[in-house]
Amino acid sequence: MTSSNQAPRRILYICDFNAHGGTQTHVMHLMEGLDRRRFAPSLVTLNLDPDLRQRIVRAGWAVHDLALKGALRLSTLRAVLALARRVRKEKPDLLHGFLYQGNILTALLSWMTGVPCLTSVRNRDIWKQRRHRMASALAHRRATRVVFNSARVRDETVAQKEIAARLSVVIANGVPDFAIPAAGHHDGRPGTILCVASLRQKKGHTHLLEAFRQVLTRVPQARLLLAGDGPMRRSLEEMAASFAPAGAVRFVGYEPDVAALLWRSDLFVLASLEEGMPNALLEAMAASLPAVVTAVGGNPEVIDDGVTGWLVPAEDPSALAARIIELLEDPAKMAAMGQAARRRFEDHFSLRRMLGAYEALYESLGAEMGERPA
């Protein structure tokens, strides 16, 4: 632990904040929750979404937005050089990068300034081509440690030789707790299924809608809430309209008050093709919801299959539909799984546990590198 004669360790986070997402939420949890007696976090964003800017300003956090327009631009070079000068002047103790571009910029700044760095891997990024993986591997080699949120993602990344296993650290995600209403679940319509995920191909919404088509044949009163936004919204709306009665599928867009949606729902689902460790799944567990999710990424590390929910194969709508129907037709089982999910959240995925793990990591690196005197 940092002693009383040591100044707080200054952590500079570097991440793209161009949209709402799990990683952005994760970084904000770190910014908000780290013990200020021991750590002084600040943030550099590659691009800052206006809504996220408002949230950061309201929180009073130090942030510097680079407002980058593209990698191969003179303005980008100037912004990076200016940031390097700022880092040399302010001398943070540690740089910590997130996401593909954030990791690369973090490693570059570390090389230019000599400030040690961490990088992060939060999913397998199936979109990456060979050149992207080579760039990621170079960035990770600069890092003192590479932080993963899932052991499975860590193992797959090591197997691809993108990092050395000895540099890896796994810290599972954590999310804030929700105060459970005295009345419990739910003020919504019985049979409400909730999915919280960006409307992008990797989240598997087309498979979820096909599964829901099958669910309606057995549970016609079922309703599906899709929270999140993205480039596939119009095509998904058209797909839903082709088979579902009016109001059966509701697209609610980005919803900052996810707790309100969770309390109105009976069951949480994710049909993702890839994941790291989804915050939305942990939030559902905190709200005592059982889940049916695909067995990808870190999901099997979160769900105790058959106890807190069900794992199903990716790209298999029939398997997804079968497990959803099974729970909707058995409210007692659904409630028991939800209670088990809540207990598992408390034991393994609390925000305080996650913050403690990051604080321990930062302090251990401080001991390796030598503490900065006050």
Convert the pLDDT of each residue in 229-253 to its tens digit.
Answer: 999 999 999 999 999 999 999 999 9
pLDDT at residue number 180: 60
Flag whether pLDDT at 204 surpasses 90: yes
The CA-CA-CA angle for residues 278, 233, 300, to 5°, reads 20
Higher pLDDT among residues 20 and 116, named by residue:
116
Number of structural domains found in the chain: 2
pLDDT at residue number 190: 73
Domain annotation covers residue 246: yes
Average pLDDT, the chain: 92
CB-based contacts of 315, cutoff 8 Å, min separation 6: 204, 207, 273
CATH number of the structural domain spanning residue 106: 3.40.50.2000
Please count the CA atoms within 13 angstroms of the CA of 17 that sit on its side-chain side.
Answer: 26
pLDDT at residue number 374: 38
Same domain, 298 and 214: yes
Q: How does strand 63-65 pair with strand 192-196?
A: unpaired
Flag whether pLDDT at 187 surpasses 80: no
Written as six digits, the tokens of 194 are 């909730």
Kind plus residue range of the DSSP H or E element containing 176: none
Domain annotation covers residue 4: no
pLDDT tens digits, residue range 205-232?
A: 999 999 999 999 999 999 999 999 999 9
pLDDT tens digits, residue range 334-349?
A: 999 999 999 999 999 9
Domain annotation covers residue 132: yes
Flag whether pLDDT at 312 surpasses 50: yes
Q: Enter the DSSP assignment of 161.
A: T
Rounded to an integer, the average pLDDT of 107-128 is 92
Domain of residue 336, residue span: 192-348
